[in-house]
Amino acid sequence: MTSPAFVSEVQEVLSVDPDAFCEQVRADAEAITEAIEEGVFDNPQAIIGLEYEFYAIARDAGPEASAGTVGSLQRVPRQLLNFIRFEQELGLHNAELSTSPLPLNADGLRAQEATVAAQLRTANEYIHNEGLMLVSDGIWTIPSEGETATDYLTDSTAIDGIEIAANMSTEPRYHAMANTSCEVTPALELDAPHVSLSAQTAMPESLITSTQPHYQVPRAKTLPERFRYALRVAGPLLALGVNSPVFPPDLYDDAPPAKILDEARMGNRIGVFESVLNPRDGPDKVRFPRDIGSIEEAIDRIVEDDLLVPMPVEDGEYGAFQTKHGTYWRWVRPVFGGASGSRANARIEFRPIAAQPTVRDTIAFQAAFAGLMESLPATDHPVADLDWETARDNFYRAADDGLCATLTWITGDGERTTDTETMFADLFEHAAEGLRSCGISEETIGRYVGPLRRRVRHELTPARWKLQQVQRGLEDGASFGDAITAMQRRYFRRQSETLLDSDFGAWIEDYSYRVQ
C-alpha cells in the first residue's frame, strides 16, 4: 500500500519550478564547457565501465509452491536488494549492477567480468534461500504467478491526483514521469506487431532490460569523432545482440502463431522503450541521435532537450545538468559525469544492447565496443564516411531482423558492402586491433571477441534461438502460450548452467548438435 509520505515525495518532485531548474542546467553547462577547456575532463587513458540490468524470478517451486511458479517474475524486497548491493530499477522485479570504471587494459577488462560474476554469484547464493534468482534477458515472458503481464504492468491507483504504479520502485522520479505537465508527455503505450497495451504509468518499460557499456575518452574534445564511429557500429553490434523477440503471451492479439513469429522483431526492446516513453505527438525523446560536430554541441543538445521532469538537485558539481541528462534518452549518448572536478569525465554510453544470456557475452560487447572506439579513430577508418541516414537505417533494420538484416558498411579498404560476413570480418578485425593496442593478449581477445564471431558463423543470435525454441514447441503440439513459457524455462535452465562460466557459444554448439 502506498504511503501518504511517498505521494508527498512525488508531489515535491512535480512542484519543482521548471524555469529555475533549466536555469541551473544552463549554468552547469557553462561550467562544464569551461572545465573542458581547462582539461578537467581529460584522463591519461581510455576507461571502461558497465551498467547491467536483471530480472528476479522464482528459482524453484519449493515445498509449498506449485510447479507453475518456476521462472515466474518476482518482486524483490527493497531491503534485500540493498543487502546484496544491487540498485533498484523501474520495476519491483528489476535489479541493476554497475561496475567501477577501470582502465582499458588486460587487467581492467578481466576485472570487469570478475566484478560482475562475483557480485552476481554472491547475490544469487544469498537469495536462493528466498526462492529467487537474478537472470539476464532482454524480455522475460513469464509473469508473476496468479497475474497476467497486462495486470502487472497496468496496475496503478490515483491518490490525491497522482497516478502511482503498484509494481514500480519507490523512486519518486519514476512515478513523476506519468504525472508531469512539462514539455513532454510520454505515450505510455506498447506498440509492436500484434501487441498493444496502454497504461497510466511508465511500467510497461520495465518489460525490458539492457547492458550498457561505457567508454570514457582520454581527451574530452575527441568525443565527437568517436561518437560518429559509435553511431556507425550501433547497427552491426545491435544485430549481434538482439535478445527480445517475444512478449508475455497474454499481451498478444489473436493472430495465428505462425504470423506472429514471422513478423516478430528480433530486438523488441528498441520499440518498447520508444513507444512507451516517446510522446504521441512532437519530437521523440528516445531516438537514434545525430552526429555531433563539437563538444559544445554535445553539451547544448542536453541543455535544449525537451524537459520531462525537473528534479530537486542533489549536492555536487553539475547536479542540475546531470539530472537533466537522466532523461536525455538516445541510443548512444554522450555523458559528462563526475560528482567533483577530480572525478570529471567525458564518455560515450552505448545503450542498444539487451541483457545477454551470460556474463561473458555481456563483457564481449563491452570489449568489442571499447576496441572499436580505440581502433577506428586511430586508423581513420572509412566507415566514418557512411552517411548518417544509412547508419540510422542500419540501426532500425538490425532491431527488426538481427543478423538477417541487410546492413551497409564501408570496410577498412574503402569498399562499400552489404555482405554480412565481409562487414563483420572487418568489424571484428578492428575490434581486436583496438584491444591489442591496449596491451590485451590474443587469448583474452579470443575470450571476448570469439563469442561474437560464433554468432555470425552459425547465424544464430539469442533472439533467433528463442524463436526456434517456440517453433519447436508449436510443432510438438503446444499452444502458443505454452510454447513461449517452455522456451523461457529452457532459457532459464541453459543460463543456470552457463551464466558465470561460459557463453552463448555453448548454447549454439548444443543447438547445432541437436539439429544434425
Q: CA 426 to CA 421: how far, in whole Å?
A: 9
Please answer whether residues 503 and 366 qualify as being in contact, where contact means their C-beta atoms are separated by less than 8 angstroms.
no
Question: For residue range 277-319, what is the model confidence (pLDDT) as tens digits?
Answer: 999 988 999 999 999 999 999 999 999 999 999 988 876 678 8
Contact between 267 and 354 (Cβ < 8 Å): yes
DSSP-H helix ranges across 86-222? 106-127, 149-154, 172-176
Please tell me the predicted confidence (pLDDT) of residue 57. Answer: 97
Q: Is residue 511 part of a domain?
A: no
Measured distance CA(474)–CA(32) in Å, rounded: 56
**262 assigned to some structural domain:** yes
Beta bridge partners of 164: 157
Long-range contacts of 449-453, Cβ-Cβ distance < 8 Å, separation of 24 or more: 449/364, 449/367, 449/368, 449/371, 450/364, 450/505, 451/360, 451/361, 451/364, 451/503, 451/504, 451/505, 452/240, 452/364, 452/365, 452/368, 452/428, 453/424, 453/428
Residue 29 within a domain: no
pLDDT band at 375 (very low <50, low <70, confident <90, very high): very high
> What pLDDT is recorded for position 337?
84
Distance CA(477)–CA(173), nearest Å, equals 46
In this prediction, residues 184-201 reach a mean pLDDT of 95
| Distance separating alpha carbons of residues 276 and 255, to the nearest angstrom | 23
Burial class for 98, CB neighbours closer than 10 Å (0-12, 13-18, 19+): middle
Q: Which three cell numbers stand for residue 445?
A: 581477445
Instruction: Give start and end residues of each alpha helix (H) in 256-387.
Output: 257-262, 268-277, 295-304, 319-325, 359-378
Q: What is the mean pLDDT of the chain?
A: 94
In a domain, 9, yes or no: no
Q: Residue 263: give its domain's CATH number.
A: 3.30.590.20
Q: Is residue 16 part of a domain?
A: no
Structurally, how many domains does the chain consist of?
1
| Cα–Cα distance measured from residue 324 to residue 382, given in angstroms and rounded to the nearest whole number | 34
Is 516 contained in some domain? no
Asked if residue 10 is part of any domain, the answer here is: no
Determine the residue type at 508: I
- The range of the structural domain enclosing residue 395 comes to 42-169+178-504
Q: Long-range contacts: 69-75, Cβ < 8 Å, 24+?
A: 69/145, 70/489, 70/492, 71/142, 71/485, 71/488, 71/489, 71/492, 72/142, 72/143, 72/144, 72/145, 73/140, 73/142, 73/143, 73/144, 73/152, 74/131, 74/132, 74/144, 75/144, 75/167
Instruction: Express each pLDDT in 320-336 by its tens digit.
Output: 999 999 999 999 999 99
Does 442 fall in a domain?
yes
Q: What is the pLDDT of residue 513?
A: 43
Say what the pLDDT of residue 340 is: 55
